[in-house]
Amino acid sequence: MTLGQEFNVFGDWFIIHFTENPGMAFGLEFSGNYGKLILSLFRLVAITVLVVYIYNLTRQKASNLVLVSLSLVLAGAMGNMIDSAFYGMIFSSSNYFEVAQFMPPEGGYGTFLHGKVVDMLYFPIISGTYPDWIPYLSGSEFQFFRPVFNIADSSITIGVILMVLFQKQFFGKKPVESTVDLQQEPEMKTDL
């Protein structure tokens, strides 16, 4: 697909729209090559920390819900990291007029850890115009759920939503076990 090309899967509410995200969520990015490198290295460190944390939770027999939620976040982070690490090395640059070439003879458009992440899922569920009674926005168009995302982004989002919904299982304090026997009366000292 060419950059920006789209086709409807189910009506006007489920669209495959090809775009490339150069940075992180919502297309935000650090400027320059060093910014992309810093972001990629941060992702690698975060993935490593998450792997170790999940491993330790597994050994401690943590709740399956906790493990599933964190695993969803890990899987999404790894998916986006793999895309970012290798996509630029194996594809030519995408544009609005021609399809990117797989394994071009002159090499890809980016080096290791400098690629973009492909996003293709687009769900513009509700479209319309703002009513006249809303100041500054009246008459302008709005669209509910404008972001284009991928399955890895969905995995991260579902994992985080599960953590928020079931936060007591994740972050609840464990009851402190008392070592004092309440049945036993304390000894009184009679030394004067």
Placement of tokens 């490339």 in the chain: 20
Catalytic, 153? Answer: yes
Structure tokens at 148: 């284009």
Is 119 an annotated catalytic residue?
Answer: yes
User: Which of these is catalytic: 12, 83, 119, 191?
Assistant: 119
Identify the active-site residue in 12, 153, 181, 191: 153
Work out the end-to-end distance of the chain between its first and last CA atoms, rounded to an integer number of angstroms: 93
Residue 158 in tokens: 């579902």
Locate the DSSP E strands across the chain: 6-10, 14-21, 117-122, 126-129, 141-144, 148-149
d(CA 191, CA 31): 76
Tell me which residues are annotated as active site. Answer: 119, 153
